Chains A and B, each alone.
Chain A
Amino acid sequence: MVAILYLISALLFIFALRGLSHPESSRMGNIFGIIGMIIAVFTTLMFKSVLSYYEIGAAILIGGAIGSFIALRIEMTALPQLVAAFHSLVGLAAVFVAAAAFYDPVAFSIGKVGSIKTASLVEMSIGTFIGAITFSGSVLAFGKLQGTISGKPIVFKFQHLINALIFLLIIFLIIIFVINQSPTIFWTIVIISILLGFLVVIPIGGADMPVVVSMLNSYSGWAACGIGFTLSNNLLIITGALVGASGAILSYIMSKGMNRSIINVVLGGFGGEQDTSASKDNSDKIVKQGNAEDAAYIMKNADSVIIVPGYGMAVAQAQHALREMGDILKKEGIEVRYAIHPVAGRMPGHMNVLLAEANVPYEEVLELDEINHDFPMTEVSFVIGANDVTNPAAKTDESSPIFGMPILDVEKSQSVLFVKRSMATGYSGVDNELFYRDNTTMLFGDAKKMCEDIVKSLSA
């Protein structure tokens, strides 16, 4: 009976992910997920060994209240931090469950204290190891995304060698733990894994965060899997594998969006201060600067406009003002669409959520390969808070660090408007030659303020 209920729960989780293939079916998918979780929890509460309903109920209420409070209050721009924080909790929960199983193996039928089955010990320590890494890595990622910790990659000598040695040390400790089942060794594994989690995320820069967040997503799944093996629980194994696969695929998509291998991202150090020489070369070139009225004039006289949002739009919270601008243009009979680069923002799909929040219909929001061939037929590209993802150097300059990265071909449209705070280079530290072209107009200022000013000029 239990096994069947768990199976139903696992199937519902699969349907939950399946629902996300289309926005229309996605809400139902989320409900499937919730039902699956309720079944899983109640099935477990029906176990004969589970007796302390009050304590468990209280714990669920406390956690549920905290989680609901956070989820309802969070700004959509802060979504990446939130997800990172949630990942850290999954990791920590995995460590606690493993510890609980270690201290009371009888409750999980994996043996007795001091004589736990070897297989269970191995699985338990792997679950603990991954859980602890997920925990500390996510905490650090949270700090970097939130801005509490500098987003700059921190690189030091022998970094990878040290990480490799720590990893070997953990394997060694796991072997000892399996042999002597000492609590001291168990907690040493926890602490050293936490340390390793920090060290793994420290060299990774802010713009690589979409990959890191996806990777930690994946880890949290594998941690659940490890615990699933420890408890011989198929539901945990299935769910963990689903989550693990999901995170791994997202990491792959993200690194492909930057034309870099996952390994390259993980090794880190990208986006430091290298390549200052490239920006010097262009210091004497002339930039055409414009203001909101110029932008309004250019767009009003166009037939089609493609808006390219980037992380800068999220920082400035400009999505609502931007949508307002788009609405006015549409009323004028101008075709307005949005082009999203896979790595725009700080987590996969971040821009889509922000535009959806501002009530932009999802049909108008297109992915890179859906819209890229339309740029030559487009009169105006309105780039707001994005830079590297439009840089033609990715196609032409083999020496550029972003060479080979797929870009949005805004250069092919008749004119380009760039909303930027300053002439500063993008995250990669590479200068963008587009800024100096004749058909480019730079609009310097805060993205939100600029959109509002354009709206004023348009309606005047």
Chain B
Amino acid sequence: MEAHSSEVFVIGLTVFFLACIIGYYVVWSVTPALHSPLMGVTNAISSVIIVGAILAAGPQGFDTSKIFGLIGVVLASVNIFGGFLVTYRMLSMFKKKTKKTKDKE
């Protein structure tokens, strides 16, 4: 955090635009059949916001900020576990013809 604040912002902006471009190309390469799992994964990774929630919940003692942080951790965790698991369930159903699997849950 030693850098000048406007400099930090510009770095953030640079990262932001580059990430948008990467996102654009990566997402177009996703096969349409897997668009539902794509939503599942993006949903799970957008919960990386948990990082901010942990920082808020980090300090010892109890204050408003910490309570908000802990709520944030709970909400994001629901999403992380739920998002990755539901994606896992979806993806494990996409099978090849040759395998001839006939499993029942």
Q: By the criterion CB–CB under 8 Å, are B39 and A250 in contact?
A: yes
* Contact (Cβ within 8 A) B58 A49: yes
What would 11 A/B residue contacts be, using CB atoms closer than 8 Å?
A26-B37, A90-B75, A96-B53, A103-B63, A221-B46, A223-B46, A227-B49, A236-B51, A238-B19, A356-B95, A362-B95
Among candidates A37, A347, A349, A364, residue contacting B48 with C-beta atoms closer than 8 Å? A37
Q: What number of residue pairs across chains A and B have CB atoms under 8 A from each other?
A: 386
Asked whether A44 and B43 contact (CB < 8 A) given A51-B59, A96-B75, the answer is no
> Nearest Cβ in chain A — how far from B55, in angstroms?
6
Q: Contact between B33 and A30 (Cβ–Cβ < 8 Å)? A: no
Contact-residue size bin, chain A (C-beta under 8 Å from the other chain): 35 or more
Pick the most buried of B22, B60, B79, B102: most chain A CB atoms within 10 A of its CB: B79
Does more than half of chain B's interface fall in helix, strand or loop, or is it mixed?
Answer: helix
CB of B47 within 8 A of CB of A64, answer no
Q: Give 1 or 0 for each of B38-65: 1 = CB within 8 Å of chain A CB.
A: 1111111111111111111111100111
The 10 closest A-B pairs by CB, nearest first: A63-B77, A245-B23, A349-B35, A104-B65, A67-B82, A100-B56, A50-B58, A67-B81, A348-B35, A241-B19
A20 and B37 contact, CB distance less than 8 A: yes
CA distance A92 to B78 in the complex (A): 12
Q: Is the CB of A245 within 8 A of B24?
A: yes
A44, A72, A107: the one within 8 Å of B85 (CB): A72
Q: Tally B residues with Cβ within 8 Å of A.
A: 86
A233 CB to closest chain B CB, in angstroms? 6
- Bound-state CA distance A60–B44 (Å) is 14
Main secondary structure, interface of A, reads: helix
Q: Tell me whether A357 is interfacial, beta carbon within 8 Å.
A: yes
For window 171-216 of chain A, which residues contact chain B by CB distance below 8 Å?
213-214
Proximity string of chain B (16-37) to chain A, C-beta cutoff 8 Å, 1 when within and 0 when not: 1101101110111111111111
Contact of A229 among B9, B17, B46, B97 (CB under 8 A): B9
- Could you tell me if A232 and B12 are in contact, using CB atoms closer than 8 angstroms? yes
Asked if A395 CB lies within 8 Å of chain B CBs, one says no
Q: Is the CB of B80 within 8 A of A67?
A: yes
Q: Given the complex of chains A and B, what is the CA–CA distance between A24 and B96 in angstroms?
A: 9
Tell me whether A14 and B22 are in contact (CB under 8 A): yes
Kindly list chain B residues whose C-beta atoms are within 8 Å of the C-beta of A16.
41, 45
B73 touches A244 (CB 8 A): no
Asked whether A362 lies within 8 Å of B65 as measured between CB atoms, the reply is: no
- The complex places the Cα of A242 from the Cα of B43 at a distance, in Å, of 11
Query: Which of B33, B52, B102 is the one whose CB lies under 8 Å from A233?
Result: B52
Whether a CB of chain B sits under 8 angstroms from the CB of A119 is: yes
Note all chain A residues with C-beta closer than 8 A to B19.
Answer: 10, 237-242, 245
When the two chains form their complex, are residues B49 and A224 in contact, meaning their CB atoms are under 8 A apart? yes
